[in-house]
Structure formats: structure tokens, C-alpha cells
């Protein structure tokens, strides 16, 4: 390979900022122009982004100094926080918390993406400011990097890493699809109550006997019961406390991306672990984040056993120990959106609101008969197992990618 050359970032592309249209005019928002904020990147599953949680109108775009970035521009969050990186999948714009780079012909766009990922910590250290640190255009432009002199060499390195990232992204997409299928099955069984009756017909649609539940304020099948999440025969609340260990990986709620993936946790010893590192995961346990408006779930079946053995969780999670045949039902109940709504309504606290264990006695759940629970478990178990296998594989691939990235960019390993 040719000798690598040193460049300033400003010599590898045009560095542009973003802006926020005035929020006092609703007509500035809610149209076809994708508008990205750092919050959108905080939950991004993959390298590419094409839309954020909000969009802006042409009026909003013209009302401020927004820049319409081309496809394959590299988004880099320069404040609040510094260091999120993504590739524009289509034309879009950002708020003022970004310094995006429109790459020129000297650099392959995916290589620039990995280059910024590699230098993330160095760039974070460049942040200036007393309360919220940020990087200015000039400082970012004068940041020096080494790159291979040819597109071909840059592409070889980027594609070595892209193979891993593509598989990771595919796993995320598969898991998203599997969760959608699970949601449809749960709604068929326990919202519409159209599970198969003894004549293999949909129960409620075919005139199955129903009764009114005062707790749920709705009709439910005759042989169903209603209990609370805090007191029911299907699961028990997991208490705080972990067994002594030499070293484990500690996961806070921020390390969990919805129900799709696990970010890298923190290695801790038993004696020097944080006070909040005090929840013990177990097989057939279901976990959710206590914090209001924080949708984080963990569904730990037997396929997560290797992860369970080496991990501990934050007390920011609430755990439910299920039985083998009730695991899938409880997991689906917690994943169902009305649970999060009820959790948020019961959250208390002066600054950061969260649900407490006592509040679980005010969350009502259906208790189906055992035959139906067994049937639901049989149907959904393969889906939950596939989700778990994908999560474990993704964690392995992520570790491999993060191991290779510095080796490739330090020229200690040559791409094939």
C-alpha cells in the first residue's frame, strides 16, 4: 500500500453547520424536509440516517440558515453531545448542533465516516465551553488526519468494516420485523381475543363468552382473570442484590437500545462497582427501565445465558422473574405500548420521574388460562429465540469491528 498522507479535515470536504427554524411558528415544521438532531443519532441503529423524529417545511428551511446536505454527507454532532457520526442516506438538513462534512474527491465517504469514528475521543477532547462543550468550524477544519492516497485503498478499508456493519444492520432490521410480528400476535391473542377456540375458530369473533372487567374497563374472555404486575401467579419482582463476582460487565439503561441491541457496558469488580450496579439478571427474566419516557427492555431467555453470566444491571431497571411457559407472554405484555403509557402515568419524582416497585400494584394485567399461555409460548418462542441470537451475534460483530477499526487506521493490519 502507498504511504498515507496527512490532511486537515477542511481539505477533505466542505464543513457546514445547521440551524433550527423558529419554534413559535407551527408552519415551520411537519413537512417533507428531513431535519436531524443529535437525539436522532442517539438511538440510530446503523450508519445511515434518512429522517429524524421531526421534519421541517420549505418555509422553516428558508427561515433559518439550514443547509440541505447531499446524499453521503457525513453528519458529526459538534455539541450536546460531541461525537455522534452518521451518513446521510438522502438529502437532509440538521440543527445547529452539527458540523457536517460534504466530502470531496480526495476521500471516500464511508472511509471518512470510519475515520471520524476512530478519532471520536480526540475530537471530544477538543470541545470548548463551560456548561455545554462544543467544537467550532475552524477547530474541526484544522484537525489533522492520515488517509491512504487512493480511493481504492480507502474503499478496501471501509468495505472491510462495512461487511461487519452490514450484518449488524441486517440483524437490527430482522429484529424490528420480528417484534412487529410479535406485536400482531399479541394483539390477536390478548387485545382482540381472537385466539383459536376449541373449534379452531377466532374466539371473540365467533361469539366466545365474555365478561366485563372493572379494572381494565373492557370485556375479557370468561375464564381470564385480572391481577396486578406486582402480585400475580405468572411472574415475581426481582429484588436488588448481586452475588459476589470477580469481574462482570455493568449495563445502565443508556447501554440498551430499545429492545434491539446492547451497547458496550462497563467492566466492574464486585467491590468497586457503582452503587446502582446491583441487579442480577437471570434466565426467563423480563426487564424495563423505570424512568419516565425511557423505553428500554431486556428479554432474557435461555439463548441469552452467556450474556447473563457475565453481566449485572443498574437499579434503573425493574426485573420480573417469569416461569418458562409465561416468559413470552410477560415479555409481550411489557413490550405492548399501553404498558409504557401506564408506567409513565405512575412515575413520580421531583426532577427525574420514575416508577417505583409499589406502583406495580396499580398496573393491571390479564391472566389467561394455562393452555392458552402454553400455546402462545409455543408460537412465539422461536421468534424470541431468533431475536436473542441476533442480539448476541450483533454484540460479537460489534466487538470485532471495534477491534479492527484502530488496527486498520493505524496500518497495523492490511485489508484483503
Per-residue cell: 264: 458496550
Contact 289, 343 (CB under 8 A): no
Q: Which domains does the chain have, with CATH numbers?
A: 5-149 (3.90.220.20), 175-398 (3.90.220.20)
Angle between helices 327-335 and 151-190 (to 10 degrees): 100
- H or E element, residue 346: helix 337-346
Closest among 295, 289, 292 to 319, alpha carbons compared: 289
pLDDT score of 300: 97
pLDDT score of 303: 96
What value does the mean pLDDT take over residues 130-135? 87
Closest among 167, 132, 149, 146 to 38, alpha carbons compared: 132
What does the DSSP 8-state code read for residue 192? S
Contact 286, 318 (CB under 8 A): no
Residue 62: which residues within 8 A CB-CB, separation 6 or more?
Answer: none
The Cα–Cα gap between 276 and 312 comes to 10
Contact 73, 101 (CB under 8 A): yes
Q: Which of 56-60, 145-149, 185-189, 257-261 is predicted with the least confidence, judged by mean pLDDT?
A: 257-261
pLDDT score of 255: 85
Cis peptide before 81 (omega within 30 of 0): yes
Write the pLDDT tens digit of every residue in 210-255.
999 999 999 999 999 999 999 999 999 999 999 999 999 999 998 8
Give 256's pLDDT tier (boundaries 50, 70, 90).
confident
C-alpha gyration radius of the chain: 25
* Triad 234, 237, 239: Cα angle to 5°: 150
Write the pLDDT tens digit of every residue in 311-330.
999 999 999 999 999 999 99
Per-residue cell: 79: 455539541
pLDDT score of 261: 62
> Does residue 1 surpass a pLDDT of 60?
no
> Does residue 3 surpass a pLDDT of 80?
yes
> Does residue 259 surpass a pLDDT of 60?
no
Amino acid at each position: 500500500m502507498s504511504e498515507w498522507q496527512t490532511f486537515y479535515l477542511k481539505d477533505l470536504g466542505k464543513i457546514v453547520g445547521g440551524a433550527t427554524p423558529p419554534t413559535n411558528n407551527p408552519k415551520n415544521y411537519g413537512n417533507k424536509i428531513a431535519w436531524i438532531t443529535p437525539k436522532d443519532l442517539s438511538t440510530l441503529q446503523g450508519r445511515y440516517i434518512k429522517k429524524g423524529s421531526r421534519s421541517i417545511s420549505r418555509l422553516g428551511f428558508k427561515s433559518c440558515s439550514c443547509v440541505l446536505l447531499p446524499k453521503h454527507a457525513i453528519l458529526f454532532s459538534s455539541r450536546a453531545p460531541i461525537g455522534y457520526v452518521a451518513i446521510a442516506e438522502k438529502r437532509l438538513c440538521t440543527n445547529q448542533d452539527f458540523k457536517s462534512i460534504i466530502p470531496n474527491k480526495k476521500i471516500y465517504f464511508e472511509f471518512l465516516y470510519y475515520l471520524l469514528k476512530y478519532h471520536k475521543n480526540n475530537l471530544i477532547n477538543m470541545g470548548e465551553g463551560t456548561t455545554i462543550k462544543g467544537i467550532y468550524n475552524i477547530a474541526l477544519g484544522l484537525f489533522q488526519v492520515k488517509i491512504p492516497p487512493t480511493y481504492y485503498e480507502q474503499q478496501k478499508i471501509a468495505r472491510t468494516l462495512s461487511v461487519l456493519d452490514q450484518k449488524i444492520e441486517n440483524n437490527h432490521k430482522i429484529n424490528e420485523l420480528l417484534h412487529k410480528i410479535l406485536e400482531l400476535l399479541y394483539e390477536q391473542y390478548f387485545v382482540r381475543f381472537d385466539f383459536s377456540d376449541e373449534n379452531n375458530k377466532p374466539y371473540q369473533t365467533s361469539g366466545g363468552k365474555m365478561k366485563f372487567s372493572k379494572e381494565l374497563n373492557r370485556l375479557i374472555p370468561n375464564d381470564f382473570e385480572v391481577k396486578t404486575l406486582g402480585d400475580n401467579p405468572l411472574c415475581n419482582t426481582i429484588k436488588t442484590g448481586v452475588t459476589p463476582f470477580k469481574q462482570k460487565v455493568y449495563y445502565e439503561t443508556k447501554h440498551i437500545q430499545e429492545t434491539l441491541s446492547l451497547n458496550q457496558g462497563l467492566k466492574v469488580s464486585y467491590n468497586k462497582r457503582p452503587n446502582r450496579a446491583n441487579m442480577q439478571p437471570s434466565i426467563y427474566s423480563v426487564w424495563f427501565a423505570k424512568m419516565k419516557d425511557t423505553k428500554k427492555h431486556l428479554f432474557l431467555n435461555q439463548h441469552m445465558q452467556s450474556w447473563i453470566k457475565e453481566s449485572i444491571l443498574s437499579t434503573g431497571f425493574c426485573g420480573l422473574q417469569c416461569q418458562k411457559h409465561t416468559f413470552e407472554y410477560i415479555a409481550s405484555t411489557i413490550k405492548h405500548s399501553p404498558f409504557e403509557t401506564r408506567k409513565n402515568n405512575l412515575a413520580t419524582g421531583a426532577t427525574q420521574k420514575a416508577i417505583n416497585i409499589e406502583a406495580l400494584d396499580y398496573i393491571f394485567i390479564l391472566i389467561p388460562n394455562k393452555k392458552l399461555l402454553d400455546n402462545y409460548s409455543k408460537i412465539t418462542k422461536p421468534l424470541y429465540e431468533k431475536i436473542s441470537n441476533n442480539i448476541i451475534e450483533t454484540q460479537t460483530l460489534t466487538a470485532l469491528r471495534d477491534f479492527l477499526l484502530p488496527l486498520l487506521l493505524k496500518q497495523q493490519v492490511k485489508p484483503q
